[in-house]
A and B are shown apart, each in its own frame.
Chain A
Amino acid sequence: MQSKKPGVHLSLAMESLNRFEGLQKELPTDIEFKKIGGMVIIETDAEYRAMEKFIKEQQAIGLDVRLLDLHQALEKEPFLSPSILGSTFSPLDAQVNPINLTLGFALAAKRNHARIINHAEVLGIHTKNNRVTGVATTRGNFDADIVVNAAGSMAGLISELVGISMPVHPRRGQIVVTHAGKPVLAHCLISAKYIAAKYDPSLADKAGQGISMEQADNGNLLLGSTREFVGFNKENTLSGIRRIIRQTAAVLPVLENFQVIRTFAGLRPYTPDGLPILGPVRHLNGFFMAAGHEGDGIALSPVTGDLMARMLLGQKIHTPLDAFSPDRFENYGGKHHG
């Protein structure tokens, strides 16, 4: 929650959060959803001032969040380094197992008679009289009145297939995973630098890319991350791994008793304004976008699915959606389709 920009973005996240508790029961997998609360670690005076301001905005719209001094922060997370200045805390931040969540959605969709066709790469989108009629894949053609582009960081490539330019770009994130150890973290932690990196890249360059840390249910610590524009390259880099380890260990010295078992990297679907693109594409009937959640795609998945379903079924939606509309990128090179 705390990492979301106050405004439409945060309200969307709040709505999603409310849906997660139901999903824990509704989905056939254990999604390990827990409202464990989260802290934003503050290491410098400049960060302190920036977070003070950020928090005020969040509090103004009713988010339960407060500033903690060093003593209070250490009370919540005794393994934090005493060299930090303090932190924020919000009980609303939550954790979920993203793999189980994705599997859960897939199995639940199947249960409701959705067909999932794996190993089928979409090669083209069929259109007729300015409306979609289906898709061509490596496993054959499929007819459809509606095509939803939910290709994540590759969504830009999919819309290119019908000559529509959508500014979704891959933004790489690297993660370092430790062995499953004793509990040392009770909350999800991010650094104030992370918030800076997320919303103000110019600031990020000066302040470093920021870190995130959490301990999964089984004890693995997930240490992150980077935010890099390197095309579709999903490799890990030496400098990325080393920086993550150095910066997380500075905040959480107990890490020196842990072992790295793996690193990995993924691509976040970045959009220029940091908001996802949700809704119908005006110039091609039946073509919808549901992509571009960057670093929030897990958190926003329940509300995204819900909104998209309502849109496709033509039901009434109470959430104002203009800020997410594909129309906002019309001048990005989006052109008429015939």
Chain B
Amino acid sequence: MNVQYHVIIVGSGIAGLSAAATLAGHGLDILIIDESGHRGGQLLRKTRLKPSCFSKFEPDLMKSKGFDLVWTINKDPDIDWLFNARVLGIFKDRRLLVHIENIKTHGEKASEKIIEVRAENLILATGAREKYLPFKGWTLPGVMSLGAAQILMKSYGVLPAHNTLIAGTSPLMMVLASEILGNKGKVTALVDENSMIKKLTFLPLIKNHWSKLLEGAFYTSRMFLNRVSVFQGYRVIQASGNKGFQSAIMAKTTPRGDVIPGTEVRFFSGALLVGYGFAPNIELPVQAGCKLEYQENKGGWVVKVDETLESSCRSVYAAGEITGIAGAKKSFIQGKLAAMSILKKVGKINARNPKKIFTAEIQRLLFLNHQQTAYSSFLNRLCQAPASAYAAIPDETIICRCEQITMGTIKKNIQQGFDTISSLKKATRCGMGRCQGRICGPVIFDIITALTQKKPEHIGCSLSRAPVKNVNIKAFLNS
């Protein structure tokens, strides 16, 4: 471990990995930091349960590419890895405050500590998290995000429940259902916010991405073969249960997204998984001082970058989901592109790396990167729940879970003129709790938009300060 590196990469998802592999072998000191204990981010979670013959068929090439990258990087002596290490904050001159959790072999925690490292060049590749559409009862135990269920299954080998109901807008719904079936679980039903007609209108956007369509067809046929009921144009409007989740009510919606009274159906199930798309993890870039831009087609507030993927902050690059939600392929391309921009900047185009080939490769990556734009708008339009759905959240529904702030309180304060994320936070405490608005921030943004039709630049986004996530004071005292 050094205290300074030529390049530090935050995040070992497919974006971070492809950046590291591209930078490898040029004599640069490189450090990869990831808060998780495994490499590969969302894409390469290890599979514990024995896969069925179905899931052996990998519709996406990216995963095997990812494993190759890990192999390349592991061989490189210039690359340091730091795992179970969370970047808590970015300070002046790209100094990172990092929390390291030392896990002993038995899984018992050894002394955690805090270190500081400085980067001459920083690549932020912190990925995305899921978004939600709150409904009555969404805080009951047994109601969880698609991603959480995925981690349960892939990392711990545990099914969410014997019978699982899945709802939302996310393409991950099908993936999850497929994984549950592959692990001998049952899927009660799949409740898709988007009607068939709506999905067809988005279709032209993916004309250059037929593999994605194939993927969709593959999953759909799997639902069909396993006799999973798929409801399109329906929304879960309520979850109930005594101590934990027991049943959910879904209802049909109009094309505008209003619930049609009288169409309610109740399902009994052991767990409810929900997902309404993704929001980029922009906390660290915000701390670094990177400018953001709001792009509906990219999934909301994203890091603003130029062609080289450099942000508005000198020597801070952004790659992957944080510049726009578009899935693994774009992350892979951007990791490479950011790395090549750095190589070019620090003069690593030489005899071994002739300029002509280098320039051609950059041109190719720029083209591929641009190609992902259409898929990105498809994905994000598909995932975005309609404004009317956010406006119609019942008053008693909790929006900010940490501070227990309800829709009623939020609505009242918006009406009083607290129509920006930061003023609403001060007026109601929403986003002031343990998670610092990571969960409710995007939801509140959509609620304000739905209720006021104000511009994104007016509403703003949550400010971030260190620490990105809670950290034990003990860790500071140990170091």
Contacts and interface: CB of A to CB of B under 8 A. Distances in A.
B433 A245 contact: no
Interface in B90-107: 91-92, 95, 97
Contacts of A246: 476-477
A235 B92 contact: yes
B434 interface: yes
Between B436, B476, B477, the greatest number of chain A beta carbons within 10 A of the residue's beta carbon is seen for B476
A238 B116 contact: yes
A273 to B, nearest CB: 32
B466 interface: yes
Interface residues of B, number: 23
Interface string A147-158: 000000000000
A260 B467 contact: yes
Nearest to B423: A118
Given A103-B426, A255-B473, A256-B474, A238 B465 contact: no
B91 A235 contact: yes
Given A238-B116, A258-B473, A180 B91 contact: no
Interface in A181-229: none
Nearest to B403: A218
B473 A261 contact: no
Given A103-B427, A261-B434, A238 B473 contact: no
Interface string A233-269: 0011110011001100100000111111111100000
Contacts of A103: 426-427
A237 B474 CA distance: 19
Nearest to B417: A118
Contact of A237 (B92, B434, B436, B467): B92
A179 interface: yes
Contact of A263 (B465, B472, B477): B465
Nearest to B471: A260
**A interface, over-half SS:** mixed
A24 interface: no
A257 B458 CA distance: 39
Interface residues of A, number: 26
Contacts of B116: 238
B470 A179 contact: yes
Contacts of A179: 434, 470
B436 A261 contact: yes
Contacts, number: 65
A242 B466 CA distance: 12
Contacts of A236: 89, 91, 465-466
Contact of A180 (B92, B433, B458, B477): B433
Given A235-B91, A237-B91, A245-B476, A262 B467 contact: yes
B69 to A, nearest CB: 32
Nearest to B470: A259
B465 A262 contact: yes
B470 A260 contact: yes
Contact of A245 (B95, B427, B477): B477
A215 to B, nearest CB: 14
A237 B465 CA distance: 10
A178 interface: yes
A138 to B, nearest CB: 13
Interface string B452-479: 0000001000000111001111101100
Q: Closest 8 interchain pairs by CB?
A: A259-B470, A245-B476, A256-B474, A99-B426, A238-B91, A263-B465, A255-B473, A258-B473
6 contacts: A179-B470, A238-B116, A245-B473, A245-B476, A257-B474, A261-B434
